[in-house]
Amino acid sequence: MVARGRGFRRATVLLLALALLAGGIYTVVAFVQRSEALVTERCTADVGTQSAELAIDQTANASLITAVAVHRGLPARAASIALATAMQESKLRNIDHGDLAGPDSRGLFQQRPSQGWGTQEQIMDPYFAANAFYDALVKIPGYESLEITDAAQRVQRSAFPTAYAQHEVMGRSFASALSGQTPEAIQCTLRAPQEAGQPETVESELARAYGALGTAVEGESLVVEASSSEAWSVAQWAVANAKDLAVTQVDVAGHSWLRKDQTGWEVSDAPDGQVRITVAPASSR
């Protein structure tokens, strides 16, 4: 009877220990989940003494607009003007409606089919819209030396010509960062990816934004041949699109951005001459 009593006590202690362990695991998981839910997803561009902040979807659109400028060989000033314009016109969102002043206005720049900007379907394509904006901008003599609000107004012919000025700091900051003129400037605070990424999808989106680049898929990474400001433009484009593309790490020119750390760019052994964009593996689903 004594032996059976001891065995019962040992079994009871073991069950209690397992219950406590399970409870501890549950507590940790619940804490991590709550912590993730409390993360405010956002992106910042820190350039010199200036800092600007955008929501994640706005940043992705800003990276697209800037990449088109880079692909066309335009200066960062062109992207600054475009970003300030899109922020005023649509809050940097690809909206499918206009307003009383322009009921047929659509897209990032609120361009109007009735004013010759293209069809509604074309204008709702962000790449078409950005190129259409730059097509008009480069026809303005000396646009690079104009005030941002003046250049924007000459393209848009808005009823509120001075409104673009309020977005100049944001436009300059994000354009300088996303064009690669200012390295280490873009930082996005994100929750953990909810599904695996696909390097091939990153490759496709990158090609659409920048045109043909030398790329190679290596496991969960896309390696892009690029150097100098182009490399930093591609790298910060990847950070700006990390949420939609499930990017977890970006390595470029002796620096790395790790999504999980949320501490910005860190010094690393990343080589020059390439950008490595790593996505969440299938096991993270």
Instruction: Clarify whether residues 170 and 213 are in a common domain.
Output: no
Clarify whether residues 56 and 113 are in a common domain.
Answer: yes
pLDDT of residue 231: 98
* pLDDT < 50 regions, the chain: 2, 22, 25-34, 284-285
Residues 118 and 220 in one domain: no
Cα separation of 81 and 155, whole Å?
10
* Tokens, residue 240: 């700006």
How far apart, in Å, do the first and last CA atoms of the chain sit?
52
Residue appearing with tokens 């379907």: 121
CB contact set of 11 (below 8 Å; sequence gap of 6+): none
In contact, 149 and 168? CB cutoff 8 Å: yes
**Same domain, residue pair 208 and 280:** yes
State the pLDDT at residue 100.
60
pLDDT of res. 59: 98
Q: How many residues does the chain have?
A: 285
pLDDT at 8: 54
Please give the pLDDT value at position 34. Answer: 44
- How many domains does the chain fold into? 2
Residue 17 lies in a domain: no
What's the chain's Rg over C-alpha atoms?
A: 24
Q: Is residue 119 part of a domain?
A: yes
Q: What range defines the domain where residue 153 resides?
A: 44-178
Residue 127 lies in a domain: yes
Considering the domain architecture, whether residues 56 and 130 belong to the same structural domain is answered as yes
Same domain flag for 143 and 89: yes
Q: Which pLDDT belongs to residue 224?
A: 98
In angstroms, the CA 268 to CA 242 distance is: 19
Q: Do 247 and 202 meet the contact criterion of CB atoms below 8 Å apart?
A: yes
Is the domain of 274 the same as that of 221? yes
Q: In which order are the strands placed within the sheet that holds 221-225?
A: 215-218, 221-225, 274-279, 247-252, 255-258, 265-267
Long-range contacts of 67-72 (CB under 8 A, 24+ apart): 67/178, 67/209, 67/210, 67/233, 67/237, 68/127, 68/130, 68/131, 68/134, 68/209, 69/130, 69/134, 69/175, 69/179, 70/179, 70/180, 70/210, 70/230, 70/233, 71/209, 71/210, 71/211, 72/131, 72/134
User: Do 86 and 149 have their domain in common?
Assistant: yes
pLDDT score, position 157:
84
User: Is residue 276 domain-resident?
Assistant: yes
97 and 216 share one domain: no
Pairing of strands 265-267, 215-218: unpaired
Which residues are CB-contacts of 208 (< 8 A; sequence separation ≥ 6)? 127
Q: Does residue 34 fall inside a structural domain?
A: no
Residue in 209, 166, 195 with CA at minimum distance from that of residue 60: 209
Phi, psi of 250 (to 5 degrees): -130, 130
Per-residue pLDDT at 28: 39
Domain boundary among 178, 212, 241: 178
Same-domain status, 216 and 170: no
- Per-position DSSP letters for 169-214, written without gaps between them: HHHHHHHHHHTTSSTT-EEEE-PPPSS---HHHHHHHHHHHH-S--
How far from chain centre, in Å, is Cα 193? 14
Q: Indicate whether 162 belongs to any domain.
A: yes
Residue 187 lies in a domain: no
pLDDT (0 to 100) of residue 23 = 54
End residue of a domain, out of 154, 178, 202: 178
For residue 102, the model assigns a pLDDT of 74
Tell me which of 178, 213, 229 is where a domain ends. Answer: 178
Tell whether 138 and 232 lie within a shared domain: no
37 assigned to some structural domain: no
165 and 278 both lie in a single domain: no
CA distance 44 to 104: 32
